Structure 1
Amino acid sequence: MKIAVLKETADGEKRVAATPETAKKFAALGATVAVEAGAGAAAGFADAGYAEAGASIGDRVATLSGADVVLAVQGPDAATLAGVRPGVWLVASLNPLAERARVDGYAAAGIEALAMEWMPRITRAQSMDILSSQSNLSGYKAVLDAAAEYGRAFPMMMTAAGTVAAARVFVMGVGVAGLQAIATARRLGAQVSATDVRSATREQIQSLGAKPVFVETVAGIEGEGAGGYAGEMSPEYQAAQAELVSAHLARQDVVVTTALIPGRAAPRLISDAQLQTMRPGSVVVDLAVEQGGNVEGSVAGAVVERHGVKIVGHRNVPSRLAADASALFSRNLYNFLSAFWNKEARRPVLDAEIGNAIRLTRDGAVVSERLRS
């Protein structure tokens, strides 16, 4: 079986879907690995490293020729995959809801497209979860980006010239990215607080030494959506949360927002009016900026200033840590394919639970229920 690893074509994408480490592991399974020349260069992985791991290096045409599985970080368009044989697997982050036309192109080309971001959040699939591995790095980098933009120190410092107060950091949304943001800000010495609509996260916040900030006046709302994600809240809860957050925001130096709802635009957590209550020089990092943004006025791919507050809206944050992000992403893909490796068939064979969850196209048609409904 031949596994092809493509050089990413998306603007600003520095990650790669396989590293020399995982290329060697695929070879140990009995697969042949072909890597497009320069695929790992932006992440610090030279072609020579792949060659030492047993992979062949060539141009895109040679890499794709005869491939059974194509690995990518962001899904390429169908034209990039021209010439692949029908039935080839495309394993990548495919953004199916926003890129429906591209998915239709995969179907027309006979490609079996597998969207790794739709991996079910079940115990046996944790090691395959690209969203968790990449979000973990995003939460870490968000705090570093905030520290770079913030004009003061994070930890309390007692010096002969006087005391520097610790920065106050508020994390909104306590998923994987939020938890890592809390931990990173704590390691930098900040006073950290956090909030989430899911009451189950209270103990997680406290376990990291941060202060939980929760709506206490609206009973019976847990905020737990499908698959461990946050769900949409009632107008009553939203109003109570806005009031609580407004009072808290005015005292914060740095805010990191991470809230996303699968298949929907990012929920608005901070309004322009709330930004006006923050003191000049404070910083807000919007990790949801590419899905519409949690912060009013945030701009994807830019750092803007409103009312004296810097709003950081970097695109593709994991790619800003390309080497580590690639290492984790590639291990997710290896863990996925190796978990279903059939020694007799000498290729992976998916079961129904995971296959039906992530498969978008097959035999020339769009087969995903989430796309057909």
Structure 2
Amino acid sequence: MKIAVPAETEKTEPRVAATPETVKKFIGLGAEVIVQAGAGAASRYPDADYKEAGATIAKTADATVKDADVVLAVRRPAAAGLKKMKAGAAVVAIMDPYGNEAALQEMAEAKVLGFAMELMPRITRAQVMDVLSSQANLAGYRAVIDAAAEYDRAFPMMMTAAGTVPAARVFIMGAGVAGLQAIATARRLGAVVTATDVRPAAKEQVESLGAKFVAVEDEEFKQAETAGGYAKEMSKEYQAKQAELVASHIAKQDIVVTTALIPGRPAPKLVSKKMVESMKPGSILVDLAVERGGNVEGAEPGKVAEVGAVKIIGHTNVPGRLAASASALYARNLFAFVETMVDKEKKELAINWDDELVTATLLTRDGAVVHPSFSGKGD
């Protein structure tokens, strides 16, 4: 069983899909591991460390993926790279399938098995494979660090002989994995933190981290969650009341971090230009959804935009801003998934096509797009 780790071709992607730690684990499963020269350099994993772990270093991407049974990547490989892989190779990556049907067709035509890690089901046995959570955790942390770097005041309250510096007021919009980590990080830095979310269950999580929950908590809100734990769509009346509350709250904040994403759809607009303009000079907004259209009106991908005296941070690939940590977690996610597809006795790839992890993540097989959400055969 040959496992290949080519270097990422996207210039803005510093992460790598395997680390020396996971290379050792794959070799322990009986695999031969080939890593492209320099693949881990941007994540501070030099070739020498991969060699020491037991990997072979290949000079080119073509030599790396040649005859590989499994190809590990951070982002979906480009068509040119797919053509160099053998038919039936399992390509495991963050595939970004929504809205990229043409790219999925190219993957199908290359006759590879395309596995999308971001489609991993949210079940107990797959928690260790959840790339969205591992990367969102780091994004939430980094969002607050980036905000602190741009904010020209102190975060914690400081009592000095010259007087008191008040604590920064930080508002987190969305209490998922990224939001909860942002809350925890802002609290560690000494800020006064508030947060909001459309799910009633989030209130307890927010408050457990020492933040105050902000929402219109009427009867509709209390019933705003399905049996599966997902948010229900709220009435127009409730949405208007919540928007009014949030608008008045944002005007009093120093820093706002938005984290709302909806799979397969543009990010919802949460903060209008009017809300941005209501904030005090020197205030900061961080839009973690900027790559999907953004939660904040005026946010620009890859830039720190300015609306009057307010800054909107729109960094892309925020987990990649912590490349070493992000790669370490992502590589462990991939190993945990690939390990389930390996026959430990024969030391070879043996995919169980009925495994719920496989059916949830498999995009292409035998020259066709097979995932029901993208094959045109879904509901």
Give the shorter-chain TM-score range. over 0.9
Q: Give per-residue Cα distances to partners, 1:55-94, cap 9 Å, x unaligned.
A: 1111211111110010000111121122211111110000
Query: Does residue 144 in structure 1 map to residue 141 in structure 2?
Result: no
Structure 1 pair 204/3, CA: closer, same or farther in 2 (3 Å)?
Answer: same
- State how far apart, in whole Å, the 2-side matches of 1:10 and 1:196 are: 34
Q: Read off the aligned partner of 1:48 and give its amino acid letter.
A: A
| Partner Cα separation in structure 2 for residue 328 and residue 268 of structure 1 | 30
Decide which moves more: 59-68 or 120-129.
59-68
Please state how far the C-alpha of 1:291 moved relative to its aligned partner.
Answer: 0.4
Structure 2 contact 62–81 (Cα < 8 Å) conserved: no
Superposition pairs of residues 264-303 of structure 1, within 5 angstroms: 264-303=265-304
The yes-or-no answer on 1:357 pairing with 2:360 is yes
SS where residue 142 of structure 1 aligns? helix
After superposition, the Cα gap between the structure-2 partners of 1:47 and 1:164, relative to the gap in structure 1 and judged at 3 Å, is: same
Q: Greater CA deviation, 208-217 or 105-114?
A: 208-217
CA distance in 2, matches of 1:246, 1:323: 37
Q: 1:292 & 1:31 partners in 2: Cα distance?
A: 41
Distance 1:74 1:39 in 2: 13
Aligned to 1:82: 83
In structure 2, the partner of 1:28 is: 28
Q: Which amino acid aligns with 1:293?
A: G
| Partner residue in 2 for 1:42 | 42
Q: Distance in 2 between matches of 1:297 and 1:226?
A: 36
Distance 1:76 1:145, change over 3 A: same
Distance 2:10 2:233 in 1: 31
Structure 1 segment 244-263 matched on structure 2, within 5 A: 244-263=245-264
Identify if the C-alpha distance between structure 1 residues 164 and 221 changes in structure 2 by more than 3 Å, giving closer, same or farther.
same
Uncovered stretches (5+) of structure 1, i.e. residues with no partner: none
The Cα shift of 1:218 comes to 5.5
1:225-261 Cα shifts (integer Å, max 9, x gaps) = 7976656443233212111101101110000000011
- Give the distance between the partners of 1:93 and 1:25, measured in 2 at CA: 21
1:340 positional shift:
3.5
The one-letter amino acid paired with 1:249 is I
Please state whether the residue corresponding to 1:80 is helix, strand or coil: helix
> How far apart are the structure 2 equivalents of 1:45 and 1:38?
8
Q: CA deviation at 1:220?
A: 5.0
CA offset at residue 10 of structure 1?
1.2
Pick which of 154-163 and 239-248 moved more: 239-248
Mapped partners of 1:215, 1:281: distance in 2: 28
Residue type of the alignment partner of 2:319:
P
- In the other structure, the counterpart of 1:201 is 202
Does residue 103 (structure 1) correspond to residue 104 (structure 2)? The answer is yes
Identity of aligned residues (%): 61
Question: SS at the partner of 2:282?
Answer: coil
Kept in 2, the 8 Å contact 1:206–1:212? The answer is yes
Whole-angstrom CA distance in 1 between matches of 2:78 and 2:226: 32
Aligned residue type for 1:130: V
Quick one: distance in 1 between partners of 2:7 and 2:310? 38
Distance 1:55 1:285, change over 3 A: same
Distance in 2, matches of 1:73 and 1:66, equals: 20
1:221 deviation in Å? Answer: 5.8
> 2:248 is matched by which residue type in structure 1?
A
Query: Compared with structure 1, are the counterparts of its residues 12 and 228 closer, same or farther at alpha carbon in structure 2 (3 Å cutoff)?
Result: farther
Name the amino acid aligned to 2:2: K
Deviations 1:126-169 (A, max 9, x none): 00000000000000000000000111000000000100000000
SS at the partner of 2:268?
coil
Kindly provide the amino acid, as one letter, of the partner of residue 91 in structure 1.
V
Matching residue of 1:113: 114
Matches for 1:305-324 after TM superposition, within 5 Å: 305-324=306-325
Q: Which residue is 2:129 aligned to?
A: 128
Paired with 1:175 and 1:227, the residues of 2 have a C-alpha distance of 15
Distance (Å, rounded) in 2 between the aligned partners of 1:212 and 1:33: 48
Equivalent pair of 2:200/2:221 in contact (CA under 8 Å):
no
User: What code does the residue aligned with 1:152 have?
Assistant: R
Given the alignment of the two structures, is residue 8 of structure 1 paired with residue 11 of structure 2, yes or no? no
Structure 1 residues 25 and 225: alpha-carbon distance in aligned structure 2, compared to 1, 3 A threshold: farther
Shift in alpha-carbon separation, 1:284–1:54, aligned structure 2, 3 A: same
- Number of residue pairs the alignment of both structures matches: 373
Shift in alpha-carbon separation, 1:159–1:41, aligned structure 2, 3 A: same
Residue 181 of structure 2 is aligned to residue 180 of structure 1: yes
Give the TM-score normalised by structure 1. Answer: 0.97
Structure 1 residue 349, shift from structure 2 partner: 2.2
Cα distance change on mapping 1:292 and 1:223 into 2, 3 Å? farther
Write the deviation string for residues 310-340 of structure 1: whole angstroms up to 9, x where unpaired.
0000000000000000000000000111133
**Moved beyond 6 Å, runs of 4+:** none
On the 8 A contact 2:286/2:313 being kept in 1, the answer is yes
Residues 1:227 and 1:61: Cα distance change in structure 2 (over 3 Å) = farther
CA contact (8 A) 1:121 1:228 kept: no
What runs of 5+ residues in structure 2 fail to find an aligned partner? Answer: none
Q: Distance in 2 between matches of 1:311 and 1:288?
A: 12
Deviation at 1:11, TM superposition (A): 2.8
3-state DSSP class of the match of 1:26? helix
**Kept in 2: contact 1:119–1:125 (CA 8 A):** yes
